[in-house]
Chains A and B, each alone.
Chain A
Amino acid sequence: MNILIWKIKPDIASLNCTGIYIDSNYFQKNYGCPNALGNVIIDCEPNNILDMASGNPATPGDIFGGYYTTYAAAVDNNWETSDYANRYLTRYLTLLSINKGKKQVLYY
C-alpha cells in the first residue's frame, strides 16, 4: 500500500472528509504482499462510537443510515422536520450543501 488516509470521527458532519488533493503521481508495479488490500486508500469512517442501542461498535453503514433515513423522512414530510430532525440533521445537510456549492436547504 502506498497511501492511506484514514480519518475517524463520531459522526459524518465532523468527519468533513474534504481537502484531500492527490495529483500527478505515478503508481506502477506495486505488487503488494500476499493479501494486500489496496494501493491508495482514502477512508473516512464515522465509526468510533458505540451503537446506542446495543452498545456494540457501530459500523459506518449504520451511521450513514441514521443520517440518511432522517434526511429522507424529512423530504417526505415536505421538510416539516419536527418529527424527525435531530441535532445532526442540519449539520449533515449543511455539509452536503456546502460541498456542492449550494445554499443550505433546511434550517430549524
Chain B
Amino acid sequence: MYYHYTHPVTSVEFDSNRVTISNNYFEKNYAVFSNGLYIQGVMNLLMESNTFIQNSIGRSGYYEGLDFSGDAFARTNSIPYNPSGYTTSPMVESSPVIIRLGNYVTIKNNIFNSNIQGMRGGDAYFAQAITMHLMIGKDGITIDSCQFLNHQGFSGPLVNSNNGYHDFAATALITLNFYETLTGRYSSTKPGEKVVKNNATKVIIKNCIFSGNKFNYRAQSDEKKIYFDQNKITNSYLHPFAAILKYFFEAEAVTENLAIINQFQATDPMKNDYNFLEEVNIIADNNTFHSNYLGQSMCAFNTYWMNSFTISNSNF
C-alpha cells in the first residue's frame, strides 16, 4: 500500500510510511565504516536508482593523486588518514551501503562500480557493495536489477599487499546476517536444533549483473570458517570465501553501535552465540555473471547456512 504524502512547502511527493533513498549519486567518498549510506532500524526501506562508484576508505595514497589536488587536505597540508598508523586495531573497512536491524528491504536499479572495501583488517563481513547486519527476517530482502561492476581492490601505485592494499576484492559483494536470537526457529535449550520449519525468510537476488569483479581471499587468519559439529557450531581458520553473497555469523561482526564510536572493534571471532540461526531461502534468478575472476578456493555463494538455495535462468 502506498501512503501518499505531499510536502506542504516543496510539493515533493513520496511514500510517508517507509524510508526512500532514490536517484542519489555517491562517488569517491572516503570514510571508515560507511562511505555511502548507513541505515539502521528501518522497517520498510526502498533504495532505488542510486549509484555508488569508487567509494572507499581514506588512504594516504588517494590524497596524493590529481583528483585531490584542490582538496582541503592539500591546501592545509594536513596529515591524511593512514590506517597503518593505528596500533589499536580499529576498523579499516568501509561499505557503500550498510543496512542494520532492517526489515522489508528492496534494493532496486542501483549501480555499484569500483568500490573498495578497504585494506586487510580482518573484518571480512564488510562487503564491497552491500553489508546487511542483524536483519529482521520477517519480510525478506529483494535485490533487483542492480549492477555490481569492477570491484578489483586498489590499483596501480596504491597496491601494497604487505600493508593489506590488494589489487583484488578481498570480501564478497554482498554480506548478510540475521538477528540470531530468533528462538522460535531454533531452540534456546537445544543449541542447533530447529524448532519449526516454516515461514522462512526469502532473500531474492534477481535480474542483476555481476561483471568485471576480481576476487581473491585474504590472509589465513582473517577469514573464519564456521561449521556445524554435532549440533554445535565451531570454527577453524580456513577460507569460506564467497564472492557474491556471504552469510556471516554475529561473532564476526562488530557489536558496538554508532553511538559509541570510539569502541569500533571487531569482536572475538569465536563466541558461543551461534545457537540460533535463521531459516533463509535464497533465490537467485535471471542474473548475469560475466568476466569475473574468482581466486583460490572460492565460490560465488556460500550455501552451508541456507535453508534452501535456488539459482535459475542465470547467464554465466
Contacts and interface: CB of A to CB of B under 8 A. Distances in A.
A15 B101 contact: no
A108 B73 CA distance: 60
A37 to B, nearest CB: 5
A101 B30 CA distance: 37
B270 interface: no
Contacts of A35: 32, 81, 90
Given A18-B17, A32-B58, A75-B184, A38 B179 contact: no
Contacts of B257: 45, 47, 59-61
Contacts of B80: 34
Interface of B is mostly: loop
A17 B183 contact: no
Contacts, number: 203
Contacts of A96: 43, 103-104, 138-139
B17 A22 contact: no
Nearest to A22: B21
Interface of A is mostly: mixed
A68 B182 contact: yes
B71 interface: yes
B141 interface: no
A86 interface: no
Contact of A17 (B37, B41, B196, B258): B41
B184 A73 contact: yes
A21 B30 contact: no
| The 4 A-B residue pairs with the shortest CB-CB distance in the complex, in nearest-first order | A72-B184, A101-B1, A44-B41, A99-B44
21 contacts: A19-B16, A21-B19, A23-B20, A25-B25, A29-B71, A31-B72, A32-B29, A32-B30, A35-B32, A35-B81, A36-B30, A37-B261, A38-B258, A39-B26, A40-B24, A41-B258, A42-B42, A60-B41, A68-B136, A72-B183, A100-B104
Given A18-B16, A59-B255, A95-B43, 5 more contacts: A23-B14, A31-B68, A35-B81, A36-B31, A61-B134
